[in-house]
Chains A and B, each alone.
Chain A
Amino acid sequence: MATEKFETSLKKLEEVVRRLEGGSLTLEDSLKAFEEGVKHASFCSKKLDEAERRVEVLLKRKDGSFSREPFETDDK
């Protein structure tokens, strides 16, 4: 599920930052960690922006199935 991936990604980002701030990494490891951190940050950011604001209304058909249609408001 997308939310779980987001959550683990955010956790990993936190970890990377803490490791880097510890300051005991070699240069090579620091750069690797940074690269990993940037990857997680952009993934999380993308997830947050991904869902655009969309308003739909769920309509029940006669046969009991459902369809989704845009919700019209007068101030939209």
Chain B
Amino acid sequence: MDIFAEKTILTVSRLTSLIRGVLEENFEQLWVEGEVSNLSQPSSGHLYFSLKDSGAQIRCVMFKGAVKNLKFRLTDGMSLILRGRMSVYDQRGEYQIICEYLEPAGIGSLQLAFTQLKERLALEGLFDEKHKRPMPFFPQRVGVVTSASGAAIHDILNILKRRFASLEILIYPVRVQGEGASLEIARAIEDMNRLKLVDVMIVGRGGGSLEDLWSFNEEAVARAVYRSAIPVISAVGHETDWTICDYVADLRAPTPSAAAELVIASADQLRGQLDALSHRLQLAVETRIARLQASVDGMRRLLQNPGTMLGHLAQRVDDLSGRLDFSLENLTRRRREYFTRLESSLLHQSPSVQADQLRQKINYLSSQAERQMLLKLESVRQVFVSNTARLDVLSPLSTLSRGYSIAIRKSDGKVLNDAGDLVAGDRLDLCFNKGKAACIVEEVKSVNS
């Protein structure tokens, strides 16, 4: 139909339906990138939000069926890449994207889901150290929640076999990857708790990709491990793989083999302890009996020969009287030494000794005073000499010694420095360095001539 050909009157519904047709036909499959805003998720389970950049925005809706496959949680401000198709919401005359799939821009959606769940559970306290149950003192029955055909169970049994551990092992086979695996694992942990068949359990699997290990990053597994009354050792993948299950578990083993080692370590240790104790028990009782035997033998020897005993007693009497003499002598000597010490210290305190010391001090002080006086005089003299020298430099007499002379008018005694002050016939005295001469002016020469 050509709606422009003639004046065709359309209803609003008809026009909207036409517009929707155009949009749906031309934007059937599109990818778009932008930032989430105005996010809302009503109880219906559908997700509504706007995708925007600096210049525009567009409404988006994601229906419940697609939301179910979303691993991470959408938040306002998140950068997204989404796949969908254009459509029109007739009732409001709005065009919108019907979103089929979305992923965070920049990082993978699994990575984001992991980070989000880890943060949320950490906040709830699921990883807190205080919730960690201690490993059993002496585990006898070990549960293993893993695949019955995987590498993990193989590794665990190998270790236990090699170490001749006397343990009962109960395997609870589960799927460890794929849809629904996490629920199976969670249920297995719950069953183990309900049946109370084991002292400790290992939950895990062998190595694989992030997707393969994903079941151990699901909330269901985390919650089951947290609720378990039986201590749980988590052993997922390799050394470098950390899963949510590892964080919640009471103990994290880097690999399934390591988990098996951890379980039997305590039993091995106990056996060593028991052996050591048994040895000490034997040794202690033997020592005790040997000692008692020795003293019985000693007594018996004395009893058999009373003469020996008398001899011993006589020797003891001799020994004691010898020590008595010695100690008397000792006592006298110590008294004498004490007296000598007292006497010498008394002599040291005599007044003549103190007077000597005082005299020495006086001598020292008076010689010091004399020395200081001489020093002072010398410094005053130095000042005098240097001042005299400075006086010489300034004195007119020193100028005369260099050959200058001073003219003085006889009539008024004025010292002359200008010939213009003179007239012929004036009498002058010329003073030299040594002596003076009386002179008469013959002629005055003008300064300018």
Task: Tell me which of A6, A23, A34, A58 contacts B171 (CB under 8 A).
Answer: A58
What's the minimum C-beta distance from B189 to chain A, rounded to whole angstroms? Answer: 12
- Measured between beta carbons, the chain A residues less than 8 angstroms from B281 are 13, 16-17, 20, 34, 37-38, 41
- Measured between beta carbons, the chain B residues less than 8 angstroms from A52 are 166
B271 touches A56 (CB 8 A): no
CB-CB under 8 A for A53 and B161, given A14-B277, A34-B281: yes
Mask: chain B, 262-297; 1 = CB below 8 Å from A; 0 = not: 000001001101100110110011011101100000
Greatest chain B CB density within 10 A among A13, A49, A50, A52 is at A13
Q: CA A62 – CA B10 in complex, angstroms?
A: 64
CB-CB under 8 A for A21 and B274, given A34-B285, A50-B166, A53-B165: no
Chain A interface, number of residues (Cβ within 8 angstroms): 40
- Measured between beta carbons, the chain B residues less than 8 angstroms from A13 are 274, 277-278, 281
Q: Does B164 touch A at the CB level, under 8 Å?
A: yes
Chain B interface, number of residues (Cβ within 8 angstroms): 40
B271 touches A48 (CB 8 A): yes
Q: CA A9 – CA B274 in complex, angstroms?
A: 11
- Measured between beta carbons, the chain B residues less than 8 angstroms from A58 are 170-173, 191, 195, 197
Main secondary structure of the interface of A (DSSP, over half): helix
Q: CA A60 – CA B291 in complex, angstroms?
A: 64
- Measured between beta carbons, the chain B residues less than 8 angstroms from A21 are 280, 284
A6 touches B138 (CB 8 A): yes
CB-CB under 8 A for A49 and B199, given A20-B288, A30-B285, A66-B191: no
CB-CB under 8 A for A57 and B288, given A21-B280, A48-B267, A66-B195: no
Listed by A's residue number, 29 A-B pairs whose Cβ atoms lie within 8 Å are A3-B136, A3-B137, A3-B140, A3-B199, A6-B137, A6-B138, A10-B277, A13-B277, A14-B277, A20-B281, A20-B284, A20-B285, A27-B292, A30-B288, A34-B284, A37-B281, A41-B274, A48-B274, A51-B166, A51-B167, A52-B166, A55-B171, A56-B170, A57-B171, A57-B172, A58-B170, A66-B191, A71-B148, A73-B157
Binding site for B on A (CB under 8 A): 2-3, 6-7, 10, 13-14, 16-17, 20-21, 23, 25, 27, 30-31, 33-34, 37-38, 41, 44-45, 47-58, 60, 66, 68, 71, 73
A-B residue pairs, 5 tightest by C-beta: A20-B284, A34-B285, A37-B281, A57-B171, A41-B278
